[in-house]
């Protein structure tokens, strides 16, 4: 049975609230009258397809949510959503593989919109060895669940409270920006895991440039900073949600250890 789509007016109000925009703000951005926008939100006026797309753009909606808004207005979705194994996905996967391989011997991985693993390079293998909870490595592998689960990488993370706070804040922002209920559910699940600091709120040393990940792998303490890369001009929902997280050595000892691991 198909899930009914919420009314267009409900979605407009929801996303205006998420974006902290008043009716007047959005009306000015979309170059329409506030009265017309009010009628659209109340259902007293029916928008054209172009108007729905314009409002979605001014609200800076993810492609998935733009399709959802079009469906709510009675129009067909604009952006396709193909599975990762679709033939049309070949060029995107090839680009991902090149980025991941070029980053070796440093770890890098590609994830979908819920942080499920799509691809990883050879350098992530040492981090997946000896995982206590085997189910965490069954597809789809959720990278954030694996990192904070007490049967996953959490016991190896030396700054767990700090890293946990960073991951949860990342998820909170992603849930707010994407409107994806699966992300919100994942955030709630991860917040229930142990790992809170008994010393109160985590206090970052803002003299550093980023929150580090300090973790043990192959019996060695490693320290990383990370960057996240996305496709710049996606036209497919799945591609628009892919992120590549690349980890860089935060010190010389980590760089040397990764080089030794790669040699072995």
Residues 78-122: tens digit of each pLDDT: 999 999 989 988 999 999 999 999 999 999 999 999 999 999 999
Total domains present in the chain: 2
Q: Are residues 246 and 169 in the same domain?
A: yes
Domain that holds residue 28: 8-72
Are 117 and 218 within one domain? yes
Residue 56, SS3 per DSSP = helix
Co-location of 114 and 38 in the same domain: no
Question: What is the pLDDT at residue 68?
Answer: 96
Both 167 and 231 in one domain: the answer is: yes
Check whether residue 93 and residue 154 sit in a common domain. yes
Measured distance CA(250)–CA(212) in Å, rounded: 8
Same domain, 122 and 246: yes
Q: Give pLDDT, residue 218.
A: 85
Q: Of 72, 97, 125, which marks where a domain is finished? A: 72
Q: Does some domain include residue 32?
A: yes
User: Do 215 and 104 fall within a single domain?
Assistant: yes
What local confidence, expressed as pLDDT, does residue 199 receive?
41
79, part of any domain: no
* Residue 167 falls inside a structural domain: yes
pLDDT at res. 204: 54
pLDDT digits (tens, 9 = 90+) for 141-152: 999 999 999 999
| Nearest in space to 143 (alpha carbons), one of 177, 111, 175 | 111
Same domain, 42 and 102: no
Task: Indicate which CATH number applies to the domain containing 244.
Answer: 3.30.450
What predicted TM-score, i.e. pTM, was given to this entire model? 0.88
Domain-embedded: residue 124: yes
Collect the ranges in the chain with pLDDT lower than 50: 1-2, 197-201, 206
pLDDT of amino acid 200: 44
Q: Is residue 77 part of a domain?
A: no
Residue 197 CA to residue 51 CA, distance in Å, equals: 49
CATH number, residue 61: 1.10.260.40
Given this model, what pLDDT does residue 6 score?
87
Distance in angstroms (rounded) separating the CA atoms of residues 169 and 190: 11
In a domain, 81, yes or no: no
**Residue 20 and residue 125 in one domain:** no
**Residue 197 belongs to some domain of the structure:** yes
Do 144 and 216 have their domain in common?
A: yes
Domain end among 72, 95, 117: 72
Q: Looking at the structure, do residues 152 and 193 belong to the same domain, yes or no?
A: yes
One domain for residues 109 and 62: no
Domain closes at, from 48, 72, 96? 72
Half-sphere exposure of 6 (CA within 13 A, CB side): 13
1 lies in some domain: no
What count of other Cβ atoms lies within 10 Å of the Cβ of residue 25?
A: 15
Closest-CA residue to 228 (of 241, 218, 237): 241
């Amino acid at each position: 049975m198909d899930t009914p789509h919420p009314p267009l007016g409900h979605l407009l109000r929801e996303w205006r609230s998420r974006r902290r925009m008043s009716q007047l703000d959005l009306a000015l951005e979309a170059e329409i009258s506030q009265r017309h926008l009010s009628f659209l939100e109340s259902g007293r006026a029916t928008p054209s397809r172009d108007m729905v797309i314009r409002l979605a753009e001014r609200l800076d909606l993810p492609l998935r949510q733009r399709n959802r808004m079009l469906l709510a207005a009675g129009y067909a979705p604009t952006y396709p959503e193909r599975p990762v194994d679709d033939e049309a996905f070949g060029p995107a996967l090839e680009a991902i593989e090149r980025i991941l391989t070029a980053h070796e011997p440093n770890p890098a991985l590609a994830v979908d919109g819920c942080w499920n693993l799509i691809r990883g390079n050879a350098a992530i293998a040492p981090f997946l060895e000896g995982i206590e909870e085997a189910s965490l490595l069954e597809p789809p592998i959720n990278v954030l669940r694996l990192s904070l689960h007490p049967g996953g990488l959490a016991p190896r993370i030396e700054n767990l409270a700090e890293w946990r706070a960073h991951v949860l804040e990342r998820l909170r922002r992603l849930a707010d920006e994407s409107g994806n209920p699966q992300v919100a559910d994942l955030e709630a699940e991860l917040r229930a895991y142990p790992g809170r600091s008994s010393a109160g709120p985590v206090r970052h040393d803002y003299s550093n440039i980023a929150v580090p990940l300090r973790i043990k792998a192959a019996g060695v303490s490693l320290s990383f900073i990370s960057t996240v890369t996305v496709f710049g001009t996606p036209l497919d929902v799945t591609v628009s949600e892919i992120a590549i997280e690349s980890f860089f050595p935060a010190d010389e000892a980590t760089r040397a250890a990764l080089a030794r691991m790669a040699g072995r």
